[in-house]
Amino acid sequence: MDELHNVFIQEAREQLTAMEEGLLRMEQGEQDEDTLNAIFRAAHTIKGGAGVVELHAVERFTHILENLLDRLRNGDLELNEAMISALLQGADHIGRLLDGVTQGELEPEAELLAAGEAVAALLRSFDAAKENPAPAAGTLSECASSVESAGGDTSISDCWHISIRFGQDVLRMGMEPLSFLQFLQNLGEIVYLTTIHESMPSSDEMDPEACYLGFEITFRSQASKDAIENVFAFCRDESELHILPPYSKIDDYLALIEQLPEEPMLIGEILVKSGAITQTDLDGALHRQQASGQTAPPLGELLIEERRVQPEVVAAAAAKQKQVSERKAADLRLIRVQADKLDQLIDLVGELVIAGASASLQAQQSGQASLVETVSILSRLVEDIRDSALQLRMVQIGETFNRFNRVVRDTSKELGKDIALHINGAETELDKSVVEKIGDPLMHLVRNALDHGIESPELRKARGKPLKGNVELNAYHDSGNIVIEVVDDGGGIDVEKIYAKALERGLVQSGQILSENETLNLLFEAGFSTAEQVSNLSGRGVGMDVVKRNIQSLRGSLEVKTELGAGSRFVIRLPLTLAIIDGFLTSVGAASYVIPLDNVVECLELREVDTRGHMLNLRGEVLPFIRLRERFNEQGALPARENVVVVAAGGQKAGIVVDQLLGEFQTVIKPLGDLFKFLRGIGGSTILGSGEVALILDVQALVHLAGEREERQHRARLAVASIES
């Protein structure tokens, strides 16, 4: 059961995410039938799954939420903002119930139970009609007899016909055929029920754990075909299910054919699955086609001639078959893999890269041409394996971004502001380990933008700005990094106010001159805040320092850009992966350094005639540079020739001066210990083929260091010139 619960919880959380996204879209105006049906299907799937795995608390609560959604689908109620808020609270409570199951609490504690009753009462308050109680559990014969004795209207022309043959493994998977009938009665009335056991073997061949049952059901309901199919969702893959709609029109069949899953099917299968013909009709047509031999017409034409189906429906089925065939080559098969297994694979690939580098070095030292060629081929294969393995860990950032739709909605209502969230670049991919760790920093930046960035509606009106504020989440690739931006069109950051607060706290000295970037960086000092009032969202000076530390722990950087009265932009730069990169190997004295290859622009010889201080004349462009020998206090005599590696990061360029250029190198990133976490300019370490350790340079930090040094020197020159004048 633990394994079943884990699978159910994972799938239920996906359904909850779909519910929340659908409800938020409907609140923004997308109140179409498809969106509402998708929300209902998600709730129904959760309820059905909870019943199958015997999580009755989840099943009972979801049933209440599902009833309200069903009334909305049927047009009995009109959707409004208060109802959406209640449904979102219901989804939140289901999430809390799932959290309890994860912790081993199959039945909720009293506090959680009471909270659930409060939400349930809120949901029921929208539905004035009395709830129809769920059918009591009983035996199969009791269920069948109760249906047959119901009496009343026996007309079946307005009913669905459901034919199901359960797979033999249904019982082994913990499912009970009777439970599907009970769930089905929540959607309508079972008029007739026939039990089928045609596949039952003889007693000596029968497996007591196997299921040999089937049902033929006449079912009266206003529910959609998708809703009825969802009743059998947890046994659909193991069973044979056919659903024939009542009073079906050609347009209905065409729509159903279009909604069929994108999987290879014959025309006959498409017609049966869409309910256009019965399986009996198809079997009969195939039999007659076979009997006619070579003179037999195609199946579609035969069915049209026998008036079993309309020509338009056959044409739609043929088009669907062609469409699926054309997409078959691009069809992706998904498989769930445990995260720790994927991490183990990446670790093994990393060790393979290191071993490959060692083999390559030894082959070159041996001088054997055939061995060098063989190892070169092996290295290329290792590189392909590395790229493929890393691609497995790449995920789109859109899922992380979409979580903030709810945050912006709830927080803006709490603050009394009208704020819209805009997401750009949701398809941008990065390493899953980065995605997992960037959520909290983004949460704080978004909440900060909502609370401090966007002004109140009254202030925006006074400033001549639209009453609705805007927050953007942007993602894009740049120079081998991913850039994530949190942007708002609020009041911006008052740099002078930050300086005054820093002066008050003793973070800067009176008369000390700071650039705008240096002043803005004071925001990330521990406990620093300019808020005049403390709210339940922010204002205590806690968080921004943690944001920067978390981003730096990912070998990333955080930059702030602001314009008073126009808004702010927080720019996060992160590496695409934390595991393996292409590097450019250099050396200074006896030490080796690796520069991420994506940051390298070009390499050239350093000539004194082209330099002035720590500035280089690069074909007319002034380029600040930094000597690694000076930065890391490397001892020893200068080489006869020094080289400059021109690098780019964050839209800025700088030069890194080294002794030797040793070429490209596959780099397995090894983290440094806590002893080195405050060392600027170093992002990690790696192991060379010789077994020696090389340090990986943090290019972003080095570029900033070079730029800051030049800016300080420039301000010093201006100060001297001012004094002299």
Can you tell me the distance from the alpha carbon of 322 to that of 316, in angstroms, rounded to the nearest whole number? 10
- Residue 205 has what pLDDT? 81
Tokens standing for 430?
């990065």
Q: Residue 486 — very low, low, confident or very high, per pLDDT cuts 50/70/90?
A: very high
Q: What is the mean pLDDT of residues 448-464?
A: 90
Confidence (pTM)? 0.59
Can you tell me the distance from the alpha carbon of 559 to that of 313, in angstroms, rounded to the nearest whole number? 59
Radius of gyration, alpha carbons of the chain? 33
Q: What is the mean pLDDT of residues 601-616?
A: 87
Percent of the chain with pLDDT over 90: 11
Q: Residue 338 — very low, low, confident or very high, per pLDDT cuts 50/70/90?
A: confident
**pLDDT surpassing 70 at residue 659:** yes
State how far the alpha carbon of 386 is from the alpha carbons of 123, 164, 378, 635, in Å. 52, 47, 12, 36
Percent of the chain with pLDDT over 70: 80
Can you tell me the distance from the alpha carbon of 119 to that of 101, in angstroms, rounded to the nearest whole number? 19
**pLDDT surpassing 50 at residue 139:** no
pLDDT single digits (tens) 319-328: 776 666 555 4
- Best-predicted range by mean pLDDT among 54-58, 415-419, 663-667? 415-419
Q: Helices 311-327 & 250-258, crossing angle to 10 degrees?
A: 10
Among the listed ranges 142-151, 652-661, 712-721, which one has the minimum average pLDDT value? 142-151
Residues 6+ apart with CB under 8 A from 712: none
List of long-range contacts for 101-108, beta carbons under 8 Å, 24+ apart:
101/5, 101/9, 101/55, 101/58, 102/9, 106/54, 106/55, 106/57, 107/56, 107/57, 108/57
Three-state SS letters, 168-209:
CCCCCCCCCHHHHHHHHCCCEEEEEEEEECCCCCCCCCCCCC
Render 66-126 in DSSP notation, one character per residue: HHHHHHHHTTSS---HHHHHHHHHHHHHHHHHHHHHHTT-SS--HHHHHHHHHHHHHHHTT
Homologous superfamily, domain 2-124: HPT domain (1.20.120.160)
- Residue 438 has what pLDDT? 87
pLDDT single digits (tens) 268-299: 777 766 656 666 667 777 777 666 765 667 77
Type of residue at 668: V
Can you tell me the distance from the alpha carbon of 440 to that of 445, in angstroms, rounded to the nearest whole number? 9
- Residue 132 has what pLDDT? 41
Q: What is the mean pLDDT of residues 35-53?
A: 83
- Residue 568 has what pLDDT? 92
Q: Helices 432-448 & 544-553, crossing angle to 10 degrees?
A: 160
**pLDDT surpassing 60 at residue 133:** no
User: Which of 347, 396, 340 is CA-nearest to residue 580?
Assistant: 347
Residues 6+ apart with CB under 8 A from 532: none
Comparing 397 with 312, the larger pLDDT belongs to 397
CA angle 589, 356, 555 (to 5 degrees): 60
Can you tell me the distance from the alpha carbon of 683 to that of 691, in angstroms, rounded to the nearest whole number? 19
Comparing 611 with 308, the larger pLDDT belongs to 611
Q: What is the mean pLDDT of residues 522-526?
A: 79
**pLDDT surpassing 90 at residue 667:** no
Q: What is the mean pLDDT of residues 497-519?
A: 80
Q: Residue 644 — very low, low, confident or very high, per pLDDT cuts 50/70/90?
A: very high
> Cα 496 from chain centroid?
40
Q: Strand, helix or coil at 651?
A: coil
What is the chain's mean pLDDT, rounded?
79
Q: What is the mean pLDDT of residues 529-540?
A: 55
Can you tell me the distance from the alpha carbon of 557 to that of 478, in angstroms, rounded to the nearest whole number? 13
Comparing 202 with 258, the larger pLDDT belongs to 202
Q: Residue 256 — very low, low, confident or very high, per pLDDT cuts 50/70/90?
A: low
pLDDT single digits (tens) 674-707: 677 667 788 788 888 778 888 888 888 888 888 7
Can you tell me the distance from the alpha carbon of 559 to that of 712, in angstroms, rounded to the nearest whole number? 19
| H/E element, 267 | helix 267-273
pLDDT single digits (tens) 346-400: 888 888 888 888 888 888 888 898 998 998 899 889 888 888 887 887 888 888 8
At the topology level of CATH, where does 396-575 sit? Heat Shock Protein 90 (3.30.565)
| Neighbour-count burial for 430-460, b at 16+ CB within 10 Å, e otherwise | bbbbbbebbeebbbbbbbbbbbbbbbebeeb
pLDDT single digits (tens) 622-643: 888 988 888 888 877 788 889 9
pLDDT single digits (tens) 98-114: 988 888 887 888 888 88
Q: Residue 532 — very low, low, confident or very high, per pLDDT cuts 50/70/90?
A: low
**pLDDT surpassing 60 at residue 134:** no
Q: Residue 480 — very low, low, confident or very high, per pLDDT cuts 50/70/90?
A: low
Can you tell me the distance from the alpha carbon of 308 to that of 17, in angstroms, rounded to the nearest whole number? 42
| H/E element, 655 | strand 652-658
> Cα 90 from chain centroid?
22
User: Which of 81, 61, 119, 115 is CA-nearest to residue 410?
Assistant: 81
Can you tell me the distance from the alpha carbon of 312 to that of 318, in angstroms, rounded to the nearest whole number? 10
Comparing 602 with 523, the larger pLDDT belongs to 602
Q: Strand, helix or coil at 473?
A: strand
State how far the alpha carbon of 552 is from the alpha carbons of 386, 672, 680, 694, in Å. 25, 13, 10, 20
At the topology level of CATH, where does 580-715 sit? OB fold (Dihydrolipoamide Acetyltransferase, E2P) (2.40.50)
Q: Helices 177-184 & 33-52, crossing angle to 10 degrees?
A: 150
pLDDT single digits (tens) 560-584: 899 888 899 999 988 776 677 788 9
**pLDDT surpassing 80 at residue 419:** yes
- Residue 212 has what pLDDT? 86
Q: How many CB atoms lie within 10 A of CB 157?
A: 6
Tokens standing for 89?
């609270």
Q: What is the mean pLDDT of residues 224-229?
A: 83
Q: Strand, helix or coil at 211?
A: coil
